[in-house]
Amino acid sequence: MESCRESYRFDESMVKSEFSCRALNSILVYMDGVYGRKALEELIRKTGLSLDYLQDHHNWVSWSYYCNLLKNLVEVTGDPRSPYIAGTRSWDKKSWGFFYYITYALGNVRMVLRKVAELVPHFNKGAEWEILELQKNRATIRIRMREGYPIDRVCCESRMGQLAGIPRAFGMPLGKVRESRCQARGDEACRVELSWLNRPRRFYGFLGLMAAIGILFVNDRMNIIRPGLPGPFLLLFSSYLVGRVFDFRGVLHHYKEQTEALEESVKVIEAKYLNLQKANDGVRTLHEISQAVTGTLHMEDLLDILLKMVVERLGFDRSVVFLTDSAGAFLQKGRSYGDAALTEAVRNLSVPVHFNSSLAEEVLRRQQATIVTAEFLAGEQASDLGRKISELTGTREYVVAPLVSKGSLLGVIAADKVRSGSLITQHDLSLMESLANTVAVAIENARTLATIEEMNLDLEKKVEERTQKLKESLRELREAQAQLIHTEKMSSLGVLFTGLAHEINNPVNFAYNGTAALEKKLRKIHALSRGCASAEGSPGEKEERAARLLEAIVDSERIMKIISRGLQRTHRLISHLKQFACRRPEELEPILPESPLRSALTILHHEMAGRIAVRTENRFRNRIMGHPDQLNQLFLNLLHNAVQAIRGSGNIRITIEKAPKGEDAVSVCIRDDGAGIRPEDLPRVFEPFYTTKKSGEGTGLGLGICRRIVENHGGRIALASEVGNGTEVTVILPVGGCPAKAEGASEGGVLGTD
């Protein structure tokens, strides 16, 4: 069906598979027989299709076209009854051919009606037939058009004519039809009542018998045959026999015609079966080739499989394929199979694609396969491409098919039978065209894949370059961020320097003064020990010297403890400062959340001593994975802000506990009872360089760096404040590592104070 459509090239809206052209033949026979050939051609010309297309019983038309054809029939003939009359011709020999004899073989009208109701879907896809009542010479049929098919009264008239014409197939008068309901007039379906007269079974025998009775009646009047003789009986019998002979002759003649028609139909069916079998083999072969070709997306493998299959499965001797270049201007990259010399000849061949010849126009512009014959190649209309292929291959006849996908020419494939000398048939042409359509899609996919792979390689290269640049930028950003944090740390230490110097100076002075006192005590002990060692003096004096020596030793021990305490305090403070100030590798380490808080409190001790009480509640005993330097900076900034917010005396409360809502994180809350932050300043406190402190007290980077540090650890920071009631900062940090030992941890008390 599709090949027929491609051959005629009509509007697709008119050639839908809805109404068989075989069922239209009665209209053509009626017009040709009653109004002549010219009227028939005029009718067909009005409809937009060709007569050849409609006379091919394998073709189909749309239901809309059928309705339009009937309307034009009324217009051309000028007879509103013409659809009905043409319908009555549906059962003539000229209308149905050998199907007429198959119809007659059914025996009677009732059998035909049953068969028609059964076969209607094979000829008319839009109608549903149902026999409601079927008697000896009467039937009621319900006919309904499916949704989506237009309903027109002319179609109903034609259908009633078709029903009325069924008895004519049996040599009887037209049937009588009456339409009690009509879908075109608003009813749910059409209902047609058909009645007919049955033909006498012994027509000529009955006629002979009646003739004999007539003769006997005349004889009775004229006395030609004497009464009593067997003549009248013999006359009646012989007349009946003669009539029956005529009956049987008619039956034999009818059977002879039917047999001849059936023999002809058998030959046609055998030929169609052979063609169908051949087509089926071709379809199976094409399917196998398609599977083999589409099984690979590598262009060279695909073309090699294609050329090999054309030779080995389609029966050609040699095959060759050319692909177009990226601009579609040249056919190049030729490959062949079946001839080594041909393979070398076409490998580097490049032929321009142009449309200045009938072959190029037929194959390339119209994108249709064709058979190039020796006569064509010898003519002036042969193209450079055709002659070039002929010269290279030494062939005088070949089939060539374009490889077209989405309207674009991808190349051409050609094949010949030069060694076998066989002719290239239309079947070969059809197979090559079908194969070319399938292969074109595979080639398009292979080209697309090659393009995608090339783009992927280019993209991977660009991604690698960009990734390297991003890594470099990220490294520089991290270095800058680390430098910024370190700078802020140093800035914080600079702000705290005076207090830290005093904090360090006090224990150093204690140690220095204690050293001088210790030196004096040691000289005294030395003198007393020599006095005790001498034998001079009374026992009382000796006891006094021993007591004084013991007192000096006790004083020395006390001075040593003072010196040791001062040095320990200095060592601890310097250790915290060293830990805070030095830069370590940016690697995560298991760390107790309490440790950076202790270091910060130690550094800030001189600012809090005597005026700020620090209270901690540590309910969290696990280590977390963190950057020690960054966490030191984080909590120093937060605690320093809290200390600066308290102008006089006050309190700072630190709570360390597991984060709420089942999170695997630690919550560190620092709350002070300082001045608080104004509501209009709260939204901006984390902005870089924004500060509410007095000039010289801050850079505006502290809280911004704090938030960055927390986010670097995958956590979050929240700040709540009320003027006059202080500020509360909550830091949530994810947990990592193993359970910590409670070294130095406490349930309560003052952190980082001596």
Asked if residue 728 and residue 675 are part of one domain, the reply reads: yes
Number of neighbours of residue 360 by Cβ within 10 angstroms: 19
Asked if residue 592 and residue 575 are part of one domain, the reply reads: no
Contact 48, 12 (CB under 8 A): no
pLDDT tens-digit readout, 138-150: 999 999 999 888 8
What's the confidence (pLDDT) of residue 730?
A: 95
- Is the residue at 100 inside a domain? yes
Contact 109, 91 (CB under 8 A): no
- Is the residue at 469 inside a domain? no
Residue type, 697: E
User: Running DSSP on this structure, what letter comes out for residue 383?
Assistant: -
Contact 391, 342 (CB under 8 A): no
Token code pair at residue 493: 């230490």
Q: Higher-confidence residue: 568 or 418?
A: 418
The string of DSSP letters for 223-239 reads --S-TTSSHHHHHHHHH
395 has a pLDDT exceeding 80: no
Which of 368, 409, 415, 363 lies closest to 385, judged by CA?
A: 363
Which of 318, 346, 316 lies closest to 332, judged by CA?
A: 346
Asked if residue 363 and residue 238 are part of one domain, the reply reads: no
Least confident span in 167-171, 515-519, 652-656, 729-733? 515-519
Contact 615, 652 (CB under 8 A): yes
Asked if residue 153 and residue 44 are part of one domain, the reply reads: yes
The string of DSSP letters for 698-713 reads --S-HHHHHHHHHHHT
What's the confidence (pLDDT) of residue 665?
A: 93
CATH of the domain at 109: 3.90.1520.10
Give the count of domains, the chain: 5
Q: Which of 195, 224, 242 is the last residue of a domain?
A: 195
Asked if residue 569 and residue 509 are part of one domain, the reply reads: yes
Which CA distances in Å does 732 have to 596, 656, 673, 718?
A: 15, 10, 21, 9
Output the 3-class SS for 719-741.
EEEECCCEEEEEEEEECCCCECC
What's the confidence (pLDDT) of residue 653?
A: 95
> Mean pLDDT over residues 328-349, rounded?
75
Asked if residue 267 and residue 250 are part of one domain, the reply reads: yes
256 three-class SS: helix
What's the confidence (pLDDT) of residue 576?
A: 56
Asked if residue 210 and residue 186 are part of one domain, the reply reads: no
What's the confidence (pLDDT) of residue 394?
A: 73
- Is the residue at 441 inside a domain? yes
pLDDT band at 132 (very low <50, low <70, confident <90, very high): very high
> Mean pLDDT over residues 389-407, rounded?
77
Which of 634, 643, 636 lies closest to 666, judged by CA?
A: 634
- Is the residue at 174 inside a domain? yes
- Is the residue at 461 inside a domain? no
187 has a pLDDT exceeding 60: yes
* Angle between helices 25-34 and 37-47 in degrees, nearest 10: 140
Which CA distances in Å does 126 have to 14, 17, 123, 188, 422?
A: 15, 10, 9, 15, 46
Asked if residue 180 and residue 257 are part of one domain, the reply reads: no
Q: How far apart are CA 214 and CA 68, in angstroms?
A: 56
> Mean pLDDT over residues 587-596, rounded?
87
Which of 84, 72, 45, 66 lies closest to 150, judged by CA?
A: 66
pLDDT band at 192 (very low <50, low <70, confident <90, very high): very high
Environment class of residue 167 by beta-carbon count within 10 Å: exposed (0-12), middle (13-18) or buried (19+)?
buried
Least confident span in 21-35, 104-118, 233-247, 610-624? 233-247
Token code pair at residue 585: 């590798």
Contact 567, 506 (CB under 8 A): no
Asked if residue 157 and residue 39 are part of one domain, the reply reads: yes
Asked if residue 737 and residue 628 are part of one domain, the reply reads: yes
Q: Higher-confidence residue: 747 or 276?
A: 276
pLDDT band at 699 (very low <50, low <70, confident <90, very high): very low
pLDDT band at 666 (very low <50, low <70, confident <90, very high): very high
CATH of the domain at 563: 1.20.120.330
> Torsion-angle region of residue 328: left (phi > 0), alpha (psi -120 to 50) or beta?
left
Q: Higher-confidence residue: 293 or 680?
A: 680
Radius of gyration of the chain (CA): 57
Contact 372, 398 (CB under 8 A): yes
Asked if residue 164 and residue 15 are part of one domain, the reply reads: yes
What's the confidence (pLDDT) of residue 749?
A: 38
Token code pair at residue 380: 């002036």
What's the confidence (pLDDT) of residue 155?
A: 92
> Mean pLDDT over residues 605-624, rounded?
88
- % of the chain at pLDDT higher than 70: 64
Which of 570, 571, 566 lies closest to 512, judged by CA?
A: 566
Which CA distances in Å does 737 have to 6, 147, 359?
A: 75, 73, 80
pLDDT band at 248 (very low <50, low <70, confident <90, very high): low
3 has a pLDDT exceeding 50: no
Least confident span in 13-22, 43-52, 467-476, 697-706? 697-706
> Mean pLDDT over residues 480-507, rounded?
59
pTM for this one? Answer: 0.36
Contact 120, 114 (CB under 8 A): no
Which of 630, 600, 617, 629 lies closest to 667, judged by CA?
A: 617
What's the confidence (pLDDT) of residue 6?
A: 40
What's the confidence (pLDDT) of residue 141?
A: 94
What's the confidence (pLDDT) of residue 744?
A: 36
Q: Which of 562, 583, 604 is the last residue of a domain?
A: 583
Which CA distances in Å does 614 have to 190, 575, 610, 670?
A: 100, 21, 11, 10
Q: Which of 179, 195, 211 is the last residue of a domain?
A: 195
Kindly provide the residue ranges of all beta strands, DSSP E only, lying in 290-352, ordered along the sequence: 318-324, 330-337, 351-352
Asked if residue 419 and residue 352 are part of one domain, the reply reads: yes
The string of DSSP letters for 626-691 reads E-HHHHHHHHHHHHHHHHHH-SSSEEEEEEEEE-STT-SEEEEEEEE-S----TTTGGGTTSTT--
- For residue 565, give the H/E element and its range: helix 539-581
Environment class of residue 326 by beta-carbon count within 10 Å: exposed (0-12), middle (13-18) or buried (19+)?
exposed
**Alpha carbon 139 to chain centroid, angstroms:** 55
Q: How far apart are CA 720 and CA 281, in angstroms?
A: 84
CATH of the domain at 393: 3.30.450.40
Q: How far apart are CA 576 and CA 598, in angstroms?
A: 9
- Is the residue at 190 inside a domain? yes
739 has a pLDDT exceeding 50: no
Q: Higher-confidence residue: 727 or 577?
A: 727
What's the confidence (pLDDT) of residue 751?
A: 40
Q: Higher-confidence residue: 712 or 748?
A: 712
CATH of the domain at 700: 3.30.565.10
Q: How far apart are CA 179 and CA 469, in angstroms?
A: 86
- Is the residue at 94 inside a domain? yes
> Mean pLDDT over residues 49-76, rounded?
89
pLDDT tens-digit readout, 516-545: 666 666 776 766 666 665 556 566 666 776
Domain with 131, as residue range(s), is: 2-195
- % of the chain at pLDDT higher than 90: 14
15 three-class SS: coil
> Mean pLDDT over residues 344-357, rounded?
65
> Mean pLDDT over residues 277-295, rounded?
79
- Is the residue at 571 inside a domain? yes
Which of 347, 448, 366 lies closest to 409, judged by CA?
A: 366
